[in-house]
Amino acid sequence: MIDTATALELVLLHGSKQTEIIEISLKDALDHVLAEDVISRIDLPPFRQSAMDGYALSNTNSLTYSLIGEIQAGDSVNPNLKIGEAVRIFTGAPVPDTANVVVMQEKVVISGDTILVNGSLVSDMNIRTKGEQIKIGDIALNKGTIVKGVHIGFLASLGVVKVRVYKKPSIAIVVTGNELVRPGSVLSYGEIYESNGAMLTSVLEELGYNRTTVIAIKDDLNKTIKTLKDTINDYDIMIVTGGVSVGDYDFVGKALEVIGVQKIFHGVKQKPGKPLFFGKKERTSIFGLPGNPAAALTCFYIYVYPLLKKYEGAQQVNLTSVTLPLLNDYTVLGSRAQFLKARLQGSGVEVLTGQSSAMVKSIVEANVLVFLPEHSSNKKKGENVKTILLPNK
Amino acid sequence: MIDTATALELVLLHGSKQTEIIEISLKDALDHVLAEDVISRIDLPPFRQSAMDGYALSNTNSLTYSLIGEIQAGDSVNPNLKIGEAVRIFTGAPVPDTANVVVMQEKVVISGDTILVNGSLVSDMNIRTKGEQIKIGDIALNKGTIVKGVHIGFLASLGVVKVRVYKKPSIAIVVTGNELVRPGSVLSYGEIYESNGAMLTSVLEELGYNRTTVIAIKDDLNKTIKTLKDTINDYDIMIVTGGVSVGDYDFVGKALEVIGVQKIFHGVKQKPGKPLFFGKKERTSIFGLPGNPAAALTCFYIYVYPLLKKYEGAQQVNLTSVTLPLLNDYTVLGSRAQFLKARLQGSGVEVLTGQSSAMVKSIVEANVLVFLPEHSSNKKKGENVKTILLPNK
């Protein structure tokens, strides 16, 4: 068995990468990855802009100025201010080239067409200089940026209407097990409801992956071989849950071998997720995740998420991790590396009760995973631990 | 002007609340709020379940047992084990009522139809007891839960196919300003691209709100009155950006008054977002946010997000906040409360450069907001600060 770092390295090394670039409307770009740098075609702001409601003038060390007009936001005027002249100006309006100061209205006394400035004048005060946010020709967002709502706002402010992004992967979730029954049916003795398909489909949907297909297979070697063989070429990423241990009826590993999937690894020194499988066949990357929902979801975040992001060319492929103090003691069982369901709250991170792979309750409550490396000793409250932030929590 | 705590309190007190409950498919429930407790109709697991591939037996302090059969996951059998008998069993399979131990296969030596157990036997070992995750009649998820992917998985595992949730609000974003031009057009001098509509639409989409309409209004009092009057009754929540200061051409406040919107407050002792407006008219809650994108987005997360969640009946209406050490010094300017764009990274939180309301770059990079109360003194590296986790970052 390999360790967690090697496993992730192998996933990122062997996992396939999207080459197809598509151009889409900016408004549809949420959660896509930019396939090229976006260069600004404008200065932002595109002109010297008033940051205040007030008065624009050319500072001459005088405190009295004659008002010669006004400029609203959106006005296309650029009056020539002579010495001693000022214009009324509003937030967002263009500051005349001949002005070097905007005085906020609260610091001015008006008397007819004359204003008296109450306070000192400093060059460029309350003026947003042209291009202070970004200059024409500068990179607005780098290739590899995962586009979020705030990026869409930023690009809209630069006048961008279309972006080139990597096409998202097609994903299949293969659920295996004779004991699995679709929700809505009645359970017989020995059966449970299939939930990994629904869970992973929804977690993928949260991340912006909407092209997910769920395929259910019973524990039968020939059926497993046939189904996987018939479908594997249709997907960029195939996630199999269950059937990846070494039990007599865990047919997935055997079936993948028969259909010519190259095994990259099978088994990682970790808890949960020891039987994790990763392989590839032509353009398809194949994960075998444990059947237990909490273990499957943990492996999804630690290994599948980075491959999805690598596939799409993202700069940051792993979830953000930080180092934070534990809020409670934790007794380490065994020597494998551990991903613990935990909650970032208060002034640190609390490891939740119910770490068993089968326990769904703790993964429901978790908003982070705490990573403890192999052979970790028991952890005391206050010790710093690596904390992996889960998305959409 | 009121303080930030009072402002949030007033928003939550006066903001409207959804009463319409709809029943939807579990698979469509992402980001909806549960309108009632979901009660489990099954025990989970529904039967005593093997946690291992191994051998089920009734412990008699003997280490030798005769194999009388096998039970796969999904089998509906419950063999009657006599003293000294064992069955081969696989992970997820039902453990016979007459067995009280599952021995993992690695601890057994097989010789013909006899197994020799190598190790000690402890009652109930490797058996998941019936209902250990949840019992029939227990609450699986509480009313007010915001449904995420992991919740969908959990409910699917209980056989749930439909849930009752609150209907999501209809939302309008009203963008105001003569200077605003749609992306895709060419800018004249004095004009900028309108981006708050695209940004807030996308940020709402990230949060699962897909029924958002953008309405653009020029700076003209009569047009503003007419447009707001004609549309306000169509929306549960109206978010106006820009036009909420007290400038001569900030028509929104006047127009809202004319059409009979009850002002709850206008102005909060905070930075950014001093001119924040909140009001209501019948079922519609109306926010007036600053026109600057970064300031608008900050006010969105601090005030609009909680109202959206309150509207939908969520238990937790505010974003999660934690107390974490600063990674850098920060010099406080002014006495107003501040929401600082910051990044949770390393072993704490770094306040980003470029805190000006107009600066989009820092809000693009931020994954948290740091809250400094009114009259805060300068902050030193290592001091603990209230850190608000931004969603979808």
What's the pLDDT at B388?
97
Kindly state the tokens that stand for A191: 């059966």
Whether residue A368 sits in one domain with residue A325: yes
The DSSP element (H or E) to which B29 belongs, if any, is: none
Phi–psi pair at B51, nearest 5 degrees: -95, 0
Give one DSSP letter per residue of A59-75, joined into a string. Answer: --S-SEEEEEEEE-TT-
Question: Please, are residues B252 and B176 in contact by the beta-carbon 8 Å criterion?
Answer: yes
A347: domain CATH number? 2.40.340.10
Whether residue B175 sits in one domain with residue B251: yes
Q: Chain B contacts of A188, Cβ < 8 Å? A: 76
Question: Please, are residues B344 and B386 in contact by the beta-carbon 8 Å criterion?
Answer: no
- State yes or no: pLDDT of A298 exceeds 80: yes
Is residue B356 situated within a structural domain? yes
- pLDDT averaged over every residue in chain A: 94
Question: Please, are residues B240 and B288 in contact by the beta-carbon 8 Å criterion?
Answer: yes
Question: Each residue of A200-224: pLDDT tens digit?
Answer: 999 999 999 998 999 999 888 999 9
Residue A198 to residue B27, Cβ atoms within 8 A: yes
Residue A74 to residue B178, Cβ atoms within 8 A: yes
Is residue B201 situated within a structural domain? yes
Question: Please, are residues B40 and B136 in contact by the beta-carbon 8 Å criterion?
Answer: yes
Q: Which of residues 99-138 of B touch A (CB under 8 A)?
A: 128, 133-134
Among A127, A219, A345, A360, the strongest candidate for a mutation testing the B interface, having the largest count of B CBs within 10 A, is A360
Q: Which residue of A has its CA nearest to B186?
A: A159
Residues 6 or more apart from B98 whose CB is under 8 A from it? B58, B79, B80, B81, B82
What's the pLDDT at A150?
95
Point out the residue among A156, A161, A360 whose CB comes nearest to the CB of B133.
A360
Last residue of a domain, one of B311, B338, B366: B311
Percentage with pLDDT > 90 across chain A: 88
Phi–psi pair at A281, nearest 5 degrees: -145, 115
Among B108, B139, B152, the strongest candidate for a mutation testing the A interface, having the largest count of A CBs within 10 A, is B152
Question: Each residue of A241-261: pLDDT tens digit?
Answer: 987 766 666 788 889 999 999
Is residue A150 situated within a structural domain? yes
Is residue B239 situated within a structural domain? yes
Residue A154 to residue B195, Cβ atoms within 8 A: yes
Whether residue A343 sits in one domain with residue A292: no
Whether residue A368 sits in one domain with residue A356: yes
Q: Which of residues 250-289 of B touch A (CB under 8 A)?
A: none
- Give the gap in angstroms from C-alpha A17 to the nearest C-alpha of chain B: 23
Residue A364 to residue B150, Cβ atoms within 8 A: yes
- State yes or no: pLDDT of A330 exceeds 70: yes
Is residue B190 situated within a structural domain? yes
Range of the domain at B149: 21-42+144-166
A138: domain CATH number? 3.90.105.10
Point out the residue among B150, B184, B193 whose CB comes nearest to the CB of A203.
B150
Kindly state the tokens that stand for B130: 């019936």
Is residue A184 situated within a structural domain? yes
Q: Chain A contacts of B140, Cβ < 8 Å? A: none
What's the pLDDT at A392?
73
Residue A248 to residue B367, Cβ atoms within 8 A: no
Question: Each residue of A84-143: pLDDT tens digit?
Answer: 999 999 999 999 999 999 999 999 999 999 999 998 899 999 999 999 999 999 999 999
Whether residue B36 sits in one domain with residue B14: no
- Give the number of domains in chain A: 4
DSSP state at residue B92: T
What's the pLDDT at A354?
85
Last residue of a domain, one of A143, A166, A189: A166
Q: Which residue of B has its CA nearest to A193?
A: B157
Q: Give the 3-state secondary structure of residue A156.
A: helix
The single residue listed with the structure tokens 């214009």 is A87
Point out the residue among A149, A158, A198 whose CB comes nearest to the CB of B199.
A149
Q: Chain B contacts of A198, Cβ < 8 Å? A: 26-27, 152-153, 156
What's the pLDDT at A325?
97
- Give the gap in angstroms from C-alpha A148 to the nearest C-alpha of chain B: 8
Is residue A316 situated within a structural domain? no
The ranges of chain B with pLDDT < 50 are none
Question: Each residue of A57-76: pLDDT tens digit?
Answer: 998 888 999 999 999 999 99
Q: Chain A contacts of B74, Cβ < 8 Å? A: 177-180, 190-191, 218-219
Residue A161 to residue B183, Cβ atoms within 8 A: yes
What's the pLDDT at B251?
83
Q: Which residue of A has its CA nearest to B95?
A: A190
- Give the gap in angstroms from C-alpha B92 to the nearest C-alpha of chain A: 8
A177: domain CATH number? 3.40.980.10
ipTM of this model?
0.95
Whether residue A86 sits in one domain with residue A12: no
Q: Chain B contacts of A304, Cβ < 8 Å? A: none
Residue B42 to residue A187, Cβ atoms within 8 A: yes
Residue B74 to residue A219, Cβ atoms within 8 A: yes
Whether residue A302 sits in one domain with residue A338: no
- State yes or no: pLDDT of A40 exceeds 90: yes
Whether residue B306 sits in one domain with residue B295: yes
Q: Which of residues 331-350 of B touch A (CB under 8 A)?
A: 344-348
Residue A358 to residue B249, Cβ atoms within 8 A: no
For residue B321, give the amino acid letter. Answer: S
Question: Each residue of B310-357: pLDDT tens digit?
Answer: 999 999 999 999 999 999 999 999 999 999 999 999 999 999 998 877
Point out the residue among B153, B183, B348 whose CB comes nearest to the CB of A156.
B183
Is residue B14 situated within a structural domain? yes
Q: Chain A contacts of B192, Cβ < 8 Å? A: 44-46, 49, 92, 157
Q: Quickly count helices (H) and strands (E) in chain A.
A: 8, 26
Whether residue A297 sits in one domain with residue A277: yes
- State yes or no: pLDDT of A43 exceeds 70: yes
Point out the residue among B189, B293, B322 whose CB comes nearest to the CB of A47.
B189
- State yes or no: pLDDT of A277 exceeds 70: yes
The DSSP element (H or E) to which A349 belongs, if any, is: strand A348-351
Quote the Cα angle for B363-B369-B370, to 5°: 130
Point out the residue among A46, A148, A392 whose CB comes nearest to the CB of B192.
A46
Whether residue A175 sits in one domain with residue A61: no
Last residue of a domain, one of A311, A337, A370: A311
Whether residue A86 sits in one domain with residue A196: no
Question: Each residue of A225-241: pLDDT tens digit?
Answer: 999 999 999 999 999 99
Q: Which of residues 27-56 of A touch B (CB under 8 A)?
A: 27, 30, 42, 44-47, 49, 51, 53
In this prediction, residues A158-175 reach a mean pLDDT of 97
Residue B193 to residue A157, Cβ atoms within 8 A: yes
